[in-house]
Structure 1
Amino acid sequence: MSKHIAIRLPDETYGRLQALAERTGRTATLLYIRQAIETHLEDLGDIYLTQAAMERIRSGESKIISGEEFWRGMDD
């Protein structure tokens, strides 16, 4: 199942999107917007997880270990 979503784009961004769609013969919404979201969704998830990990390190809840310590712990 798929869901619909509506967004507002600045005129310049919308124009660029439409121009690209016309040059390539593709539809803007179906291909480019969906592709952009799917491409960047994983990156955004990684960024948020990294920020959360850094906060745990800053608060002392987690600590940074060396690669050697990491691999030594894998043998346990």
Structure 2
Amino acid sequence: MLAIRLPADVEQRLEALARATGRTKTFYAREAILEHLDDLEDLYLAEQRLIDIRAGKTQTVPLDELMKRYGLDD
């Protein structure tokens, strides 16, 4: 169960979309979350990796070295 408060203009847009399509507001809220969850997880992971790199906890590999290592430098 999830309850969220939306700005009035977003709520109105969601309501209008639901009415126009015969779907529920919940359907569209669920779709929006599912659509963007992967992006949010990727962003979090990238931010954590950047913190680790800056703290010296993770080493980087130059792209040209990586390409050579995997035979992609052709």
* Pair in the same fold by TM > 0.5: yes
TM-score if structure 2 supplies the norm length?
Answer: 0.82
Residue type at the aligned position of 2:38: E
Q: What stretches of structure 2 of length at least 5 have no aligned partner? A: none
Structure 2 distance, partners of 1:16, 1:26, is: 13
RMSD over equivalenced CA pairs, Å? 1.6
1:63 Cα deviation after fit: 2.5
Q: CA deviation at 1:10?
A: 1.3
Structure 1 residue aligned with 2:25, among 14, 24, 28?
A: 28
Q: Does 1:5 find its partner at 2:5?
A: no
Counterpart amino acid of 1:24? T
How many residues are matched?
70
User: What is the percentage of aligned positions where both structures have the same residue?
Assistant: 44
**TM-score, normalised to structure 1's length?**
0.80
Q: How many Å separate the matches in 1 of 2:64 and 2:9?
A: 50
1:42 and 1:49 mapped to 2: Cα distance? 11
Structure 1: 5+ residue stretches without partners = none
Q: Which runs of 4+ in 1 moved over 3 A?
A: none
